[in-house]
Amino acid sequence: MGSEFIKRGMSTLANCAVCNNPSQMETLEHLFRDCPISARFWMGTDLGIRCDTNDDASIKDWIANWLSFFHKKKDNSDTINKFIATIWCLWCK
C-alpha cells in the first residue's frame, strides 16, 4: 500500500497499482472505494453499492456503515459474506 510505505519512510511507487494513475496515491480509501476500477467492481456485484468519489468518510467508517446497513436486512448473512469477499478480492488484486 503506497501510503503505508511512505508513512514508514520506505521508497516505493505510491500510485495506485490497480488503475495505475500516477497522480493518485494508493490509500485504503482509494483501493476499496475511490478507484474507478474498484467502483466498477462494486457495481458488478448485486450488493447495490455505488461508490461516490466525493465520500470523505474513512474506509473504516465506510465499511462499518455498509456492514451496519446489511446487518439490518433480513437474511443478511449471504449479503455480508459477499461484501467481505468483495473487499478481500480487491485487497488481493
All cell numbers assigned to 44: 458488478
CB 82 within 8 A of CB 27: no
How far is it, in rounded angstroms, from Cα 16 to Cα 23?
9
pLDDT at position 12 is 56
Expressed in percent and rounded to 5, the helix, strand and coil fractions of the chain are 55, 0, 45
3-state secondary structure of 73: coil
> Mind listing the pLDDT tens digit for each residue in 36-71?
999 999 999 999 899 876 778 899 999 999 999 999
What is the residue type of 68? S
Q: Pick the residue with more confidence: 93 or 69?
A: 69
